[in-house]
Amino acid sequence: MSQNPPGPAAGPGSPVAKPEGIRLGIGLTTPSPELAQICGNSGFDFVLIDMEHGPADFETAYRMVTALAGTPADAWIRVAANDAVLIKRALDTGATDVVVPMVNTREEAERAVAAGKYPPAGIRGWGPFRAQYQWRTTLFDYSKRANDEVRVWVLIEHPLAIENIDAILDVEGLGGAIAAPLDLAVYMGHLDGPNHPDVQEALAGALAKIKAKGFPVLRFGVTPEQGRQAIESGATSLLLGFDTMFVPAAVQLYLSQLNRLG
């Protein structure tokens, strides 16, 4: 559940409605509270602070989560590794969701989930001194709510994860799983992207199992065409790429429409 107030997207004119039942997100590699706040007020439902492939440190991540606290968007963090200390520190920023990369087995998924849960459900160290303020509550109320409301997602981005996906999705307390097309393509030996039939087959199988388990189906949709295809395939959330991808794509989309008007 979002900890943030509802509100219209900022900007000129009336906001354009999202497709019904679809959540939109963007990943930020740029360590900027200001950019996070802009995205949080631009119609996104969640903003993923990328600490795996971006330069943001934890001090900056805290400030980015704080900047998002006054927007309609949830603050997500992708940590750099399946490490209990990194997951604990990410959640202590007040983020609602943490995304854990390279989870390939049931045991690895269990370790990630345990790191995001307070005892007795897990091993998360107690100390939500900042998280309470991001959630607009008290220290002990946060502690009572966190195990139910914090979500730990795992990234399915390796052939071994595809092989073990049934066992991974069976882990109690898991908040979701994301089939990562670009990473999976690379680890399957296709450096030119995820369009190879073998990659598409693996992705389709993973997505079908994620949906069958009742988890949200999150897919990438960098272009409107990709987004429409993802929705038609059953996606409930669209990640519109990362800042380094989305900004150039938005410029190209603008120019293509501008040229059609000429």
The residues annotated as belonging to the active site are 53
CA–CA distances in Å: residue 196 to residues 34, 193, 223: 38, 8, 19
Q: Is 240 helix (H, G, I), strand (E, B) or coil?
A: strand
Q: With beta carbons less than 8 A apart as the criterion, state whether 53 and 74 touch.
A: no
CA dihedral 147, 150, 155, 161 (to 10 degrees): 20
State the CB neighbour count (10 A cutoff) for residue 257.
Answer: 9
The helix or strand, by DSSP H or E, that contains position 169, with its residue range, turns out to be helix 165-169
CA–CA distances in Å: residue 57 to residues 89, 92, 95, 112: 11, 14, 14, 20
User: Smallest Cα–Cα separation from 169: which of 134, 142, 209?
Assistant: 209
Angle ∠(228,206,88) on CA atoms, nearest 5: 100
Question: Residue 205 is encoded by which pair of tokens?
Answer: 């199988």
